[in-house]
Amino acid sequence: MSSADPADPADTNEDVWKSDHMVAQWVASADERERRRAEQRRLMADLLAFEENEAFTFVDLGAGTGAATKAVLERYPRARAILAEYSPQMTAEGERALSGYVGRFSYVELDLASGAWPDEVPTDVPVVISSLCVHHLPDERKKELFSEIWHHLAPGGWYFNYDVVRTDDPLVEATWLRAADRQDPEAAASRQHRSVEEQRRYENHVRHMAPLALQLDFLRAAGFEGIDVYWKQLDYVLYGGRRPLVA
């Protein structure tokens, strides 16, 4: 749960998420991960300000294989998704995983680190979601991204992010770790016996994690209102905010 050295300029996102081997490993363990995240996926869908049969289009940033999108499509049968992803390997896996929703989703290429949004992403969508991807970005880029999201939302549109955060308090970190190990007794042993590839993926995972309070400040700076932490358990959070109806 601790962060890697923030002074280390190396970034391994592409090494992980554009590697056939690494993505295959990640996908192989996806079912168990998503079983643990089902509650949070459903909550994110329930937070959206739509009636069940209302038609709307939403954007899923850093969508990966579409787990967050799937929860929304299941909750709202007339919803349509634009999944923004930069890894062709993850996109291919996502198209397979979402094959039951053909006609209700499309993938577009977007590297969240670049700031260059494709034309296929409208500038007036009613909702943007992201899930377990923002923590891969340096803090300054997180701040920029939240502003870009604000500008792609219609007035009154919502942004929700399910992600992992870090703490600067060693006591809090130790408490998180103790509780997590009790909930998953195999976790401690796994930390001590990571393979070289698992260690690379872990270092990539924690490299740019940021405290929760800082990210909420970034939302405020971007102009969001209704900002709240809608769910939290240890270092995992679901937070969001709304673009005001009137600028």
Amino acid 207: pLDDT = 80
| Residue 194 zone, left/alpha/beta (φ > 0; ψ -120 to 50; rest) | beta
Amino acid 16: pLDDT = 60
Report the CATH fold assignment for 13-242. Answer: Rossmann fold (3.40.50)
Q: How many residues does the chain have?
A: 247
Amino acid 9: pLDDT = 46
| Residue 223 zone, left/alpha/beta (φ > 0; ψ -120 to 50; rest) | left
Residue with tokens 């007794």: 185
Distance CA 5, CA 12 (A): 14
Amino acid 36: pLDDT = 81
Tens of pLDDT, residue by residue, the chain (247 residues): 443 343 344 555 665 655 666 666 656 666 677 678 899 999 999 999 999 999 999 999 999 999 999 999 999 999 999 999 988 898 999 999 999 999 999 999 999 998 789 999 999 999 999 999 999 999 999 999 999 999 999 999 999 999 999 999 999 999 999 998 998 887 777 777 767 666 566 566 678 999 999 999 999 999 999 999 999 999 999 999 999 998 6
Sign of the alpha-carbon torsion through 71, 85, 99, 22: negative
pTM (2 d.p.) = 0.86
- The structural domains of the chain, with segments of one domain joined by +, span 13-242
